[in-house]
Amino acid sequence: QDCTFFTRKEILRLHGRYHEMAPNVVPMDYTKDPDVKLPMQLIINMPELKENPFKERIVESFSEDGEGSLSFNDFVDMFSVLSEMAPRELKAIYAFKIYDFNTDNFICKSDLEQTLNKLTREELTAEEITLVCEKVIEEADMDGDGKLGFSDFENMISKAPDFLSTFHIRI
Amino acid sequence: KDNEEEESKEEESCSHQNRPSRRKNHQRENSSGEKAGVEGNRQRERGKKAPTKDQKESENKEKKTNKKGKDEENKQKTDRKNSSSSASSTSSDEESLSEEELAMLMEQVEQKKKLISTMRNKPWRMVKKLSVLREAQAFVEKFEGALGKGKGKKLYAYKMMMAKKWVKFKRDFDNFKTQCIPWEMKIKEVESHFGSSVASYFIFLRWMYGVNLVLFGLIFGLVIIPEVLMGMPYGSMPRKTVPRAEQATAMDFSVLWDFEGYIKYSALFYGYYNNQRTIGWLKYRLPMAYFMVGISVFGYSLMVVIRSMARNANESTADGDDKNFIFSWKMFTSWDYLIGNPETADNKFASITTSFKESIVDEQESNKDENIHLRRFLRVLANVLIICCLCGSGYLIYFVVKRSQTFSKMQNVGWYERNEVEIVMSLLGMFCPPLFETIAALENYHPRIGLKWQLGRIFALFLGNLYTFLLALMDDVNEKLAEEDLVKNITHWALLSYHNSSVENGSAATSPPLDPADVPRGPCWETTVGIEFVRLTVSDILVTYITILVGDFIRACFVRFVNYCWCWDLEAGFPSYAEFDISGNVLGLVFNQGMIWMGSFYAPGLVGINVLRLLTSMYFQCWAVMSSNVPHERVFKASKSNNFYMGLLLLILFLSLLPVAYTIMSLPPSFDCGPFSGKKRMYDVIQETIELDFPLFVAKIFSYVANPGLIIPAILLMVLAIYYLNAVAEAYQRANAELKKKMQMQREEEKNKRNNKASTNPMLQDLEDLFTPSTKRESAPKQAEDKKVESPNRTIPVEKQGKAAALDGSPMMGGRGAAFTPPPHVFMTQPPMLGIRMPYPGQLRPRGHLPGPVPGWGRGQ
């Protein structure tokens, strides 16, 4: 409870959900600290994540190995960060990780293009995409290195009115 | 089933694994690539704000281990394992600690505690969090006891224990509280289907339900229950008895449905309450309680509304007014992570795409106004039409209320005549908003602005209707008051004649042997007002439910099933499915609440009805939304409008406070019904209580406080305070704007600088490289400050050139021979600029002979 924003009941419920996804792999008994991980494929099929265009990225950012398989700890961590009570700074850090597709600690043009394609299901033309990406970089890039570092991102997101209300998943 | 225990054990074991190899663990973390990346990233981000906790912690650890060596750590381990020996070991520890160490330890413990409480805010992996948490907890547990010394030790330990218990209790209480929040899953389901905006309506509804529940508890617990339990029973006195003439039909459903008959003479309405000062063996002062509850209903509502408004305002401090990040925000915050339904997701994708396209178009061609005159004309026309509608609806209501007064005097009126007012008001509420929407199409506003206008107009309509209704009601009340005088005289006369006769007969009967049902009685305007409000509320409930049933459910069924045999596609074409009308529903809720606030003083049972209404509408609307509505095509944002709705609620609350306050302060209560009967004004009850129940000096203090000489200065003081706070807020705002501007400038300049650096002037760059050391030597801190405040504008390098010119050959530059190659270039290429930018090149030269250039030169421009 100290490590997450959840109460006991919610953690238990989360465990229930985790168990539900693979009843024969995940034990109910966690006393022996079993080293169980669920693959990404199972987790992104949760109804909470299913429709999310960034589901793979979300799961990858929270998995310990970066491959997308989550242990129960990571699983709880994920929903804790995405819960309503998590502060803006924490959410911003993980949002940055999620949108950083190639994990180079910068959101560069290719990341932006991928984000945009996922958001619009590739319905924009190539010129429009480049225009939007250029615009985004022009708006948010403070240090002028042509890509968004975390400080750029945080500065931008801290002013966004909708970030807190949209970047959360109720479980 | 003890899952939690298991979990905690799991955590425990996890930490056990980690603890022995703590330092190794650290190293491992650092070595493992990604983690190091995260760590480094985080440190970079937070490095400026505060020395990172983690660093500090590791430093502490280092210190500790250095000081006490490895055995200390072993001891710690053994401590955990066999707690029996821990006491002795810690005590020996304590003896060996000096004061200084104690202080340090104290600090460390505090740090650890802080770490524990902020653990959840750290962007670490769960495993790391758990291990660090365990460590910190163990540390705190171990050294907490050692901190107290001498006789204070026990107290300290006790305090710590209590603190621990308190934390545990708080946690349990939190757990309990989250369990108590109703409809979490229901709302989540709606949310995943319709996005956060529709869900915000249901959250608002739930909040409203909570507020009403509290109001209901207040009224029910302090007014209705005492009166029913301890007051005079039904039938014991005229005001609690159905009059003889009505008794035959008093139980008929049609009569009850109009809230006449037995319901009218029940505890639901004002008239039932007795004016006895104290009731029952508790000496419960019911009239006083009635008055105070009436006031506290408003007080509580005001407090709750304002508090939640303030909280909302606090949350949305980052007001996204500036237009800097249109595209970035669209990119990173437009996806609603709550969506979990394919259809909604499709809509969301579509709406995001269109919004991107819209803003691209906006960006490409900023504005293209074709015919501004026509548009202006249309807008004026639309407003005129709408004002006509508003006036018309107001007049209609006034007319209907007037007519209903004549109806109420006649006998044998039909159902329609009796309910005409409610029907007309509901119909207006149903048909006017769509009419407004049609008219608003003329105006061709941007949809978001259009929505605001629409909301404002509907609000004006409702408000106008409500107030016309109130005015008409007030007429009614005045009529009733006149009538009452008449009845009063009659009863007075009857009593008098009876007394006369009894005096003649020589008997000393104190009360006339009249059956309570036969006593002539006044019209009791308070109950009439209460009944009007209850009727209005009930008819509103019915109309809302029937609209949902017909407009949404039947329509959905029709579209769904007739579609198989129809000539066009019903689902995609004309009728299609209904969307959930958020703004209309919220406004309806807000107005309903206004009615409740207004009516609850004269009809204490009204809040109970409202609680039922909210409860049913939660289930009913949830069902209706899920079964027969489709997600919005254009998804509105929920976050911004939240406080807008709260503002409406506050306005309504204030407006509904006015008439109630007016009636309390300036109308005389009925003489034969209600808790205040026999008094000149309702608020006399307070004076009475103070005079009779409190000691004399309280009455004196009260009279002083109520003195206008004190009230006026108090009001003045408040006005001044408001003025002052307002001024301060304005100043802050201005400072805010200034800072924003500054940031913007800085940003642009930095960009410019970079552009220049990157592309055009490699030579300038050289120059800068060359002369920065010298400036540094002159006044490094000041220069740095200048850069921050003024932001390095284009003039600086030029000035530096100037300095270069001035200082050329001065002993200062002697050491940097290697950098001396470019200056000749400068003199060749840049003289004109030099001349322009440096107004007094001549002056600079003499100064060059000074030990160093005047530091002020950098800022001179």
pLDDT digits (tens, 9 = 90+) for A111-126: 888 888 888 877 778 8
pLDDT above 90 coverage of chain A, percent:
0
**Residue B629, beta-bridge partner list:** B578
A2, A53, A156 ranked by CB distance to B120: nearest: A2
B818 has pLDDT over 60: no
Cβ contact B45–A154 (<8 Å): yes
**pLDDT score at B824:** 41
Query: Model pTM?
Result: 0.65
CA angle B685, B690, B692 (to 5 degrees): 90
B643 Cα to chain A: minimum distance (Å): 13
Of the CA atoms within 13 Å of residue B745, those in its CB half-sphere come to 14
Predicted-complex ipTM score:
0.87
How much is the average pLDDT of B22-29?
Answer: 42
pLDDT digits (tens, 9 = 90+) for B286-332: 888 999 999 999 999 999 999 988 887 776 554 445 566 777 777 78
* Average pLDDT of chain B to the nearest whole number: 72
For residue B578, the surrounding DSSP H or E stretch is strand B578-579
- Name the band, by pLDDT with cuts 50, 70 and 90, for residue B726: very high
B509 has pLDDT over 70: no
B809 has pLDDT over 80: no
- For B631, which DSSP code? -
How much is the average pLDDT of B758-787?
Answer: 48
- For B553, which DSSP code? I
Helix (H, G, I), strand (E, B) or coil at B669: coil
Q: Report the alpha-carbon distance of residue A94 to residue A78 in Å, rounded.
A: 9
How much is the average pLDDT of B667-690?
Answer: 85
Cβ contact B9–A124 (<8 Å): no
Lowest mean pLDDT among B18-27, B512-521, B720-729: B18-27
- Give the residue from B209, B203, B207, B208 showing the smallest Cα distance to B190: B203
Residues of chain B contacting A120 with CB distance shorter than 8 Å: 349, 352-353, 356
Q: Report the alpha-carbon distance of residue B849 to residue A46 in Å, rounded.
A: 77
How much is the average pLDDT of B833-842?
Answer: 42
Between the alpha carbon of residue B17 and those of residues B12, B62, B859, the distances in Å are 9, 20, 61
**pLDDT score at A160:** 76
Instruction: Say yes or no: B741 contacts chain A, CB-CB below 8 A.
Output: no
- Give the residue from A24, A30, A25 showing the smallest Cα distance to A76: A30
CATH superfamily of A8-82: EF-hand (1.10.238.10)
Say yes or no: do domains A8-82 and A88-166 share a fold. Answer: yes
- Name the band, by pLDDT with cuts 50, 70 and 90, for residue B615: very high
**Residue B722, beta-bridge partner list:** none
Most confident of B256-265, B326-335, B342-351, B755-764: B256-265
Instruction: Say yes or no: B366 contacts chain A, CB-CB below 8 A.
Output: no
DSSP track, A56-90:
HHHHHHHSSSSSS-EEHHHHHHHHHHTSTTS-HHH
**pLDDT score at B368:** 53
Instruction: Say yes or no: B169 contacts chain A, CB-CB below 8 A.
Output: no
Q: Report the alpha-carbon distance of residue B839 to residue B860 in Å, rounded.
A: 11
Q: How far is C-alpha B493 from the geometric centre of its chain's CA atoms?
A: 58
Between the alpha carbon of residue B141 and those of residues B72, B136, B161, B170, the distances in Å are 15, 8, 10, 19
The domain locations on chain B are: 100-180, 184-370+444-501+516-675, 707-755
Mention every residue, 6+ apart, whose C-beta is less than 8 A from residue A80: A3, A4, A5, A6, A86, B120
Mention every residue, 6+ apart, whose C-beta is less than 8 A from residue B525: B476, B477, B480, B481, B484, B667, B670
Nearest CA in chain A to B136: A2
How much is the average pLDDT of B630-634?
Answer: 68
Most confident of A36-45, B446-455, B798-807: A36-45
Helix (H, G, I), strand (E, B) or coil at A144: coil
Cβ contact A121–B349 (<8 Å): yes
B346 has pLDDT over 90: no
Lowest mean pLDDT among B67-71, B305-309, B373-377, B531-535: B67-71
CATH superfamily of A88-166: EF-hand (1.10.238.10)
Query: Any idea which residue has 């200082």 for tokens?
Result: B807
Instruction: Say yes or no: B490 contacts chain A, CB-CB below 8 A.
Output: no
pLDDT digits (tens, 9 = 90+) for A25-79: 777 777 766 777 888 888 888 888 888 888 888 888 888 777 778 888 888 888 8
Residues of chain A contacting B345 with CB distance shorter than 8 Å: 51
Cβ contact A157–B332 (<8 Å): yes
The domain locations on chain A are: 8-82, 88-166
**CA torsion angle B280 B281 B284 B285 (round to 10):** 70
Residues of chain B contacting A86 with CB distance shorter than 8 Å: 120-121
Mention every residue, 6+ apart, whose C-beta is less than 8 A from residue A126: none
**pLDDT score at B727:** 96
B474 has pLDDT over 80: yes
Residue scoring higher pLDDT (B836 or A139)? A139
Nearest CA in chain B to A95: B332
B56 has pLDDT over 80: no
B424 has pLDDT over 80: yes
Cβ contact B336–A166 (<8 Å): yes
For residue B287, the surrounding DSSP H or E stretch is helix B286-315
A5 has pLDDT over 50: yes
pLDDT above 90 coverage of chain B, percent:
11
- Name the band, by pLDDT with cuts 50, 70 and 90, for residue B349: confident
Cβ contact A120–B331 (<8 Å): no
Phi first, then psi, for residue A71 (nearest 5°) are: -85, 170
Residues of chain B contacting A112 with CB distance shorter than 8 Å: 331
B90 has pLDDT over 50: no
Residue scoring higher pLDDT (B223 or A140)? B223
A101 within 8 A of A114, measured Cβ to Cβ: yes
pLDDT above 70 coverage of chain B, percent:
67
For residue B90, the surrounding DSSP H or E stretch is helix B83-96
A58 Cα to chain B: minimum distance (Å): 11
pLDDT digits (tens, 9 = 90+) for B96-155: 556 777 778 778 878 887 877 777 777 777 777 778 888 887 877 777 665 555 556 677
B726 exposure class (CB count in 10 Å sphere: 0-12, 13-18, 19+) = exposed
- Name the band, by pLDDT with cuts 50, 70 and 90, for residue B789: very low
B749 has pLDDT over 60: yes
A23 Cα to chain B: minimum distance (Å): 16
Lowest mean pLDDT among B207-216, B514-523, B611-620, B814-823: B814-823
**pLDDT score at B729:** 93
Query: Any idea which residue has 């975390």 for tokens?
Result: A150
CA angle B848, B849, B854 (to 5 degrees): 50
A59 Cα to chain B: minimum distance (Å): 13
